[in-house]
Amino acid sequence: MTESKAYLKKEWLEFKRTHRLLAFCILFAVFAILGPATAKLTPLLLEAFQADLETQGMQLVISEPVAMDSYMQFFKNLPILLIIVIILFSGSFTGEFTKGTGVLMLTKGLSKRKMLFTKYILWMLTTLGGIFLYLAIFMGYTAYYFKLTNLGGFFAAAGIYLIYIWFWLSLLLLMSVIIKSAGIVILGMGAVYFILSLIAIIPNAEHYLPTGLSQGVVFVADPTVIKDFLPAILITCCLNIVLIIASALLVPRKEV
Amino acid sequence: MTIDMKQFMELLPIMIPLIAIEAGLLLYGLIHVLTHKNYKCGNRLIWVLVVCLFSIVGPILYIILGKEDSASRDDDFE
Amino acid sequence: MNMLEIRHLSKRFGDKVVLDDLNLVVEEENIFGFIGRNGAGKTTTMKIILGLLEADSGEVYVCGEKVQYGSAKTNRLIGYLPDVPEFYGYMNAREYLRLCGELSGMDKEEIKSRSKELLEMVGLLKEKGKIKGYSRGMKQRLGIAQALMKHPKLLICDEPTSALDPLGRKDILSILSKVQDETSVIFSTHILSDVEKICRNVAILEKGNIVMQGNVNDIRLRHTSGDICIVPERLSDLDAIANLTGGAVVDDKVIVPPANSGSSAMSAVLSKLADSGIDLLKIEQMEPDLDQLFMEVIGK
């Protein structure tokens, strides 16, 4: 316990001093502002083209933007943030071994397992913190510009998206254990995403896949759809636990 | 595109923080690139282009990947 | 008590046998030199002692406790300095030592006083900058400080001087000899002059096995009794001396090999020369140096 606490302190210091905290705050905040801004500005931009298009004989119906447009932007920007988070953490564990900084920690009595899971906790907490910042700024602007509707659906969809993010962080955990370098960790994550997308071609397969959880705005519009995705939620949670256990079992064999 | 005064005032609260963050990062990044000689990777020209051309993301990339906080010492003994 | 005991240790990487039934006992002592060529298996042995690498067979005991691969239990007794220590560049020396202290469960006050003491000893007390700006020599010195943080019984240094220039090497050696009062030190090297300077006992590792172990001076004396070198005052006497002693003329001196002079080499030569009336400038028993001995032992 003392080792984990000391190591967590080090991880937090690293998060701050390598400017990852700054990057997190700015990126999550900027994307949070961009969501409602895009929702608000799109009709104005379309209006500008309206005259042009009408001379070409096309009809353009511009509706007043609503909260739903903003929600759509919320879920559209989340994958970008997730990719950034994964890239920022991809070298976190592997780097301790490729750079050789981890050896000194191990010889101080910190086990590889504690090292790995302390990092995992930091990844989860900082990502969660970032998401909360994102949510808070987003909700502030959305409430300012639009009349908030479908709030229940929105929070349900956001909650389901958190499970999706948790899946990728757990996958990052296992990838960090079985792969030596950060670059290949990212490639491995990409490969998993590619395979999941291939399987998703099968009709209704997404009801059972982790990627099914990233529907986002679909859930907001019609929360009753969520029950079709219950298997996906269950399977993803189980997968996460499998990933965690597999990492815990494999990490002592990690080559120094 | 025409934006009337009312719309402009309406958009102000969302544009100000965005522009402030963007301008702040751009200025900080540019000044840092131009006042430092050594980077973790890349050279001055590349970083000036990255910082100026990619708004917000460019300066952050520079801060994480390019910025060298303290001058690296040569391999001598004090 | 034995600080370190290695029994029948074997390790192979693929087809390559790195350690082959290695046996080694290191008693509580000052500085123990672990000599071997590059690739002889020094680093592998050290990593197994630290539980960082799994042995194929054999056991390692540190202070009587068995080392288990993957478990860090015995590591609380050991301080380790890798050949090229890597630190978190964004910390300064004090922060790094604090992290090390906290990891080993030391309390705040203890960490503070111990850090100060160690940084003073390695000459980094006034260094305020981040570690990323450190030179190799400074990193090596910080490496010693971090290894000693928790008062280990045994300090293991892997080639601490190899990557350094002569000045840096001198610093490290003098720090190591200062340290020996509080802890036993095992250090591996292929630089024999370093061993001669600070080690009392040595073991020579070759092809995964200990080929020789013992006190540096004993080994030196036992192994080669050494040549005798005679320098006459006048060069014209060289041949006469060579004839008398059975030596050979080399440049402006006569070298008498140990085989010809027997056990009481020096006195025999002296008595032969005593009545000859030849004036000598110098007569000297040449000490075999460790390099020569090393070559002999590994059969080169």
Rg, Å, chain C Cα set: 24
Enumerate neighbours of C (3 or more CB pairs within 8 A). A, B
Residue C23, φ and ψ in degrees, nearest 5: -125, 135
Residue B9, φ and ψ in degrees, nearest 5: -60, -35
| pLDDT score of B57 | 85
At residue B1 the predicted structure's pLDDT band, cuts being 50, 70 and 90, is: low
How distant, in Å, are the alpha carbons of A187, C91, C134, C146, C169 from that of C87?
27, 8, 10, 10, 20
> What value of ipTM does the predicted structure carry?
0.88
How distant, in Å, are the alpha carbons of A52, C9, C151, C250 from that of C64?
88, 16, 18, 54
Where do the CATH 3.40.50.300 domains begin and end in chain C? 2-222
Is the model's pLDDT at C257 over the cut of 80? no
Both structure tokens of A80: 């970008």
- Say whether B74 and C138 touch across the interface (CB within 8 A): no
Convert the pLDDT of each residue in C272-291 to its tens digit.
Answer: 788 777 888 888 877 666 77
C6/C26 Cα distance (integer angstroms): 9
Which one, of C121, C118, C123, C97, lies nearest residue C108 by Cα?
A: C97
pTM, rounded to two decimals: 0.85
Q: Quick one: what percent of chain C has pLDDT higher than 90?
A: 26
Closest chain C residue to the Cα of B75, Cα to Cα: C135
Residue C53, φ and ψ in degrees, nearest 5: -135, 145
Where do the CATH 3.30.70 domains begin and end in chain C? 226-287
- Say whether B76 and C135 touch across the interface (CB within 8 A): yes
At residue B42 the predicted structure's pLDDT band, cuts being 50, 70 and 90, is: confident
Residues paired with residue C215 on neighbouring β-strands, in sequence order: C201
**Across residues C239-244, what is the average pLDDT?**
82
Enumerate neighbours of B (3 or more CB pairs within 8 A). A, C
Convert the pLDDT of each residue in C57-111 to its tens digit.
Answer: 999 999 888 988 877 788 888 999 998 899 999 999 999 999 999 998 899 999 9
Task: Please tell me the distance in Å from B1's CA to the nearest CA on chain A.
Answer: 5
| pLDDT score of A157 | 94
Q: What's the first-to-final CA gap in chain A, in angstroms?
A: 23
- Say whether B70 and C171 touch across the interface (CB within 8 A): no
Chain C residues near residue B74 by CB distance under 8 angstroms: 135
| pLDDT score of B78 | 32
A118/C187 Cα distance (integer angstroms): 33
Chain A residues near residue B7 by CB distance under 8 angstroms: 44
At residue C30 the predicted structure's pLDDT band, cuts being 50, 70 and 90, is: confident
| Residues belonging to chain C | 300
Residue C212, φ and ψ in degrees, nearest 5: -165, 140
C152/C145 Cα distance (integer angstroms): 11
| pLDDT score of B2 | 61
The larger pLDDT score, comparing residue C249 to residue A34, is at A34
Chain B residues near residue C134 by CB distance under 8 angstroms: 73
**Residue C265 neighbours by CB distance under 10 Å:** 20
Residue C84, φ and ψ in degrees, nearest 5: -125, 90
Closest chain A residue to the Cα of B15, Cα to Cα: A37
Q: How many CB pairs under 8 A join A and C?
A: 77
**Across residues C16-43, what is the average pLDDT?**
85
Contact map slice: C 3-62 vs A, CB within 8 A? 47, 50, 52-53
Closest chain A residue to the Cα of C144, Cα to Cα: A104
At residue C261 the predicted structure's pLDDT band, cuts being 50, 70 and 90, is: very low
| pLDDT score of B73 | 42
- Say whether C78 and A103 touch across the interface (CB within 8 A): no
Q: Which CATH superfamily is domain C2-222 in?
A: P-loop containing nucleotide triphosphate hydrolases (3.40.50.300)
- Say whether A104 and C85 touch across the interface (CB within 8 A): yes
How distant, in Å, are the alpha carbons of A197, A198, A200, A230 from that of A203?
12, 11, 7, 16
The larger pLDDT score, comparing residue C248 to residue B51, is at B51
Across the 256 residues of chain A, what is the mean pLDDT of every consecutive 10-residue run? Answer: 92 93 92 91 80 74 85 93 93 93 91 95 97 96 91 92 96 96 94 95 90 88 89 96 97 87
Closest chain B residue to the Cα of A30, Cα to Cα: B18
**Long-range contacts formed by A241-246: CB under 8 A, 24+ apart:** A243/A167, A243/A170, A243/A171, A243/A173, A243/A174, A244/A120, A244/A170, A244/A173, A246/A174
Residues paired with residue C187 on neighbouring β-strands, in sequence order: C33, C157
Which one, of C116, C112, C145, C110, lies nearest residue C131 by Cα?
A: C145
Closest chain B residue to the Cα of A146, Cα to Cα: B10
Both structure tokens of C57: 């067979």
**Residue A111 neighbours by CB distance under 10 Å:** 20
By a Cβ cutoff of 8 Å, what residues of chain A touch chain C?
A: 2-3, 5-7, 9-10, 13-14, 17-18, 99-101, 103-112, 252-253, 256
* Residues in CB range of A78: below 8 A, 6 or more apart: A161, A165, A214, A216
Residue B33, φ and ψ in degrees, nearest 5: -60, -45
Contact between B77 and C171 (Cβ < 8 Å): yes
| pLDDT score of B71 | 44
At residue C263 the predicted structure's pLDDT band, cuts being 50, 70 and 90, is: low
Q: C226-287 architecture in CATH?
A: 2-Layer Sandwich (3.30)
